[in-house]
């Protein structure tokens, strides 16, 4: 199992809080522990062996941070650059990583999500070709999903509260058998000039064609997507204190 962290974006909506620092390097508190560290720890603890990080904005800061804090495990990381990070969205960042996966199963994480690591294993064990992790609770400003039975039928930020079934937390699992199909669809969208959308647009098209897009739930465990100062304030008061650091074996 591999994982890709999409960390190329500029994070302009929260720039007042982190300045010229990539959003994934926002610190939890007065320590050096960051959003990126929490993601890496959660992935390693869940059994992920290799982590790719798509970089763009202030890429050297991210590379230096990982090189300094994970010196003994650098062989488990791959840095992949999105040179068009100022004009594209995360669909293009994921596209840049396509050859690294080599048809393996993988997890996709937006670089601004923090989460209790116990959220990951059920999704990793899911039999569905694609699995999205969701929270039944409504959260403003995040992508929502509509569920029927054991399938996600619709995903969008425009889904209204009276229609939604759950909130997508920004983590998706892709089975090895679905990898080629997903990247083929992403390639088609990019060729059509749709490189400023979320990669979920490709997942939606596959779901529309009948591909089983499943889901697992957070089961009340803490998580946050950090887009703006309000999100960060919520995370610092209600999420970060609940995320205990645990040592991960090399």
HSE-up of residue 185 (Cα within 13 Å, Cβ side): 17
Residue 207, domain member (yes or no): yes
93-145 residue pLDDT tens:
999 999 999 889 999 999 999 999 999 999 999 999 999 999 999 998 899 99
**What is the domain extent for residue 195?**
2-242
Structural domain count of the chain: 1
Confidence label for 19 from pLDDT (cuts 50, 70 and 90): confident
47-59 residue pLDDT tens:
999 999 999 999 9
- Please give the angle made by the CA atoms of 44, 49 and 55, to the nearest 5 degrees: 85
Q: Looking at the predicted structure, is the pLDDT value of residue 153 above 90?
A: yes
Q: How far apart are the first and last CA of the chain?
A: 16
Token pair, residue 205, equals: 């098209």
Q: Which residues of 140-169 are buried (b: 16+ CB within 10 A; e: fewer)?
A: eebbbbebeeebbebbbeebeeeebbbbbb
β-sheet bridge partners, residue 217: 134
CATH of the domain at 70: 3.90.550.10
β-sheet bridge partners, residue 152: 147
Nearest CA-CA partner of 171 in 196, 148, 142: 142
Residue 10, domain member (yes or no): yes
pLDDT at 15: 72
Residue 55, domain member (yes or no): yes
Residue 249, domain member (yes or no): no
Residue 247, domain member (yes or no): no
Q: What is the rounded distance in angstroms from the CA atom of residue 66 to the CA atom of residue 71? A: 7
Mean pLDDT of the chain: 93
Q: Model pTM?
A: 0.95
Q: What is the rounded distance in angstroms from the CA atom of residue 92 to the CA atom of residue 250? A: 31
How many CB atoms within 10 Å of residue 27? 15
Residue 250, domain member (yes or no): no
Check residues 187 and 227 and name the one with the higher pLDDT.
Answer: 187
How many CB atoms within 10 Å of residue 83? 12
Residue 161, domain member (yes or no): yes
Contacts of 129 (CB under 8 A, 6+ apart): 174, 175, 177, 178, 181, 211, 212, 213, 214
Residue 19, domain member (yes or no): yes
pLDDT at 30: 66
């Amino acid at each position: 199992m591999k994982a890709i962290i999409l960390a190329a974006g500029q994070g302009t909506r929260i720039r007042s809080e982190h300045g010229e620092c990539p959003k994934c390097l926002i610190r939890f508190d007065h320590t050096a522990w960051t959003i990126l560290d929490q993601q890496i720890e959660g992935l390693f603890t869940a059994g992920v062996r290799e982590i790719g990080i798509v970089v763009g904005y202030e890429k050297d800061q991210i590379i230096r941070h990982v090189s300094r804090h994970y010196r003994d495990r650098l062989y488990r990381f791959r840095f992949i650059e999105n040179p068009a990070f100022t004009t594209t969205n995360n669909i293009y960042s994921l596209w840049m990583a396509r050859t690294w996966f080599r048809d393996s199963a993988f997890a996709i994480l937006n670089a601004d999500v923090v989460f209790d690591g116990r959220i990951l294993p059920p999704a990793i064990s899911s039999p569905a070709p694609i699995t999205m992790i969701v929270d039944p609770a409504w959260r403003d400003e995040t992508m929502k999903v509509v569920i029927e039975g054991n399938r996600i039928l619709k995903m969008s930020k425009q889904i209204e509260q009276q229609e939604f079934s759950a909130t997508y937390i920004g983590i998706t699992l892709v089975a090895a058998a679905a990898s080629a199909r997903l990247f083929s669809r992403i390639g088609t969208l990019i060729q059509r000039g749709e490189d400023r959308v979320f990669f979920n647009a490709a997942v939606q098209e596959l779901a529309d064609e009948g591909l089983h897009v499943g889901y697992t739930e957070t089961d009340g465990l803490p998580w946050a997507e950090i887009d703006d100062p309000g999100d960060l304030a919520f995370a610092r008061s209600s999420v970060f204190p609940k995320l205990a650091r645990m040592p991960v074996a090399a």
